[in-house]
Amino acid sequence: MLNDLPASKRLPHPERLGSYRPEDVVFLLKDLSDAKLERGTEDREEAIQGGTHYSEMLPVEYRPTPEYLALFHETLETTARKVALAAGIVSERLAARHGSDIVLASLARAGTPIGILIKRYFRAAYGTELPHYSISIIRGKGIDENAVLYMLRQHPERRIQFVDGWTGKGAIRKVLAEAKETMRAKYGIELDDDLAVLADPGRCSETFGTREDFLIPSACLNSTVSGLMSRTVLRGDLIGPDDFHGAKYYKEWLEDDVSNLFVDRVSRYFEEVREEAKAAAAELEDLPEANVSSWQGMKDIGRIQQDYGIADVNLVKPGVGETTRVLLRRVPWKILVDRLDNPNLRHILLLAEDRGVPVEVYPELTYSCCGIIKPLNGGTT
């Protein structure tokens, strides 16, 4: 398929970015560290709801308080084995379906630490080294085509496996499906839009480690648990046709970085969970309901929109990971939870209290929680 690419198609070369070890991941991103992209939370929220695309600017990074960092470390200690098991299960499912003839393409930035865990699991369990890249995909703008083409040129015989941290409404899965059609039409390339995730509370992935909406410690923090990388940026004055999508590398946050601590701590459990992961993966592969997407989470979103009079679905952010993001870098209106004593919600309740955001119990919620962004027009939007 790659022989059909025009010979004149110039692709960028990767830069050395991020605080992860080079053997763990290669970022296919353009370094925008010198660009002024951050905007304050209120200003950014007004711009987004006014029509500016979220990928054209960055939120100001949230500096965790000592109390919040302590919660991260405590959560990491109590959930590291659980995360390792989920990573093992999704890895074993990939191995059963595709062997080791794959390239991991983690979606920056929440997917990056999960891609590293899958890469390390394959090394520990099978003695194989999977190529692993972190690339950009942006809702409303699509996947980084240059990054996809680069991976295919480097590994023409391998299948690309996209990886993310968790599912919310399934928006990224839909962007992948659109990217599949685009790459076929433009280049004659057949991509698989399967998205492997650690957790699939939204029921919109067929390749997952668990569907429990639990606290993945890497959802607690921003760049400091994602290789010190910002979320990705796509703006015409900064990114040309021969560039990768962009991101900032926050070297100045090095003393706060726990990116390697997270993946190292979880990886220690791989040998211990190997047999359990293999058995659980085999069981899931035999369950018809574990190999289809019901999109149950979106049914919840529709109910929330109706109950709270929210016209714009983008203001509803379901799941622990997305709710965390709302509290860290958006303007929250309220937080809905399935129950107040859910142990997965300790950091959510801490952040909500810190920011003065009301928390409401919302019965029969598929997710553990859901963050609702404040409509800036004073009501529905």
Encode pLDDT of 190-245 as tens digits. Answer: 999 999 999 999 999 999 999 999 888 887 778 889 999 999 999 999 999 999 99
Distances (CA, A) of 3 to 45, 105, 153, 188: 44, 21, 10, 10
> What letters, b where the CB count within 10 A reaches 16 and e where it falls short, cover 263-293?
bebbbebbeebbeebbebbeebeeeeebeeb
Give yes or no for residue 325 having a pLDDT over 50.
yes
Please choose, from the candidates 368, 371, 372, 373, the residue with its C-alpha nearest in 3D space to the C-alpha of residue 201. Answer: 368
Confidence of residue 277 (pLDDT cuts 50, 70, 90): very high
Alpha carbon distance 221, 29 (integer Å): 21
Supply the pLDDT for residue 288. 81
Supply the pLDDT for residue 4. 54
Task: Identify which of 9-13, 51-55, 78-82, 289-293 has the greatest average pLDDT.
Answer: 78-82
Alpha carbon distance 268, 155 (integer Å): 29
Average of pLDDT values for 352-376? 92
Copy the structure tokens of residue 326: 């709302």
Supply the pLDDT for residue 25. 98
Copy the structure tokens of residue 272: 């211990």
Q: What DSSP string describes 221-236?
A: -SGGGTTTB---B--T
Sheet with 207-210, edge to edge strand ranges: 26-27, 132-135, 102-107, 159-166, 195-199, 207-210
Average of pLDDT values for 38-61? 84
Supply the pLDDT for residue 292. 81
Give all domains of the chain, ordered by start, each with its CATH number: 2-291 (no CATH), 296-373 (3.30.1330.30)
pTM listed for this prediction: 0.90
Q: What DSSP string describes 322-370?
A: HHHHHHHHS-EEEEEES-TT-GGGHHHHHHHHHHT--EEE-TT-SSSEE
Copy the structure tokens of residue 150: 């680069």
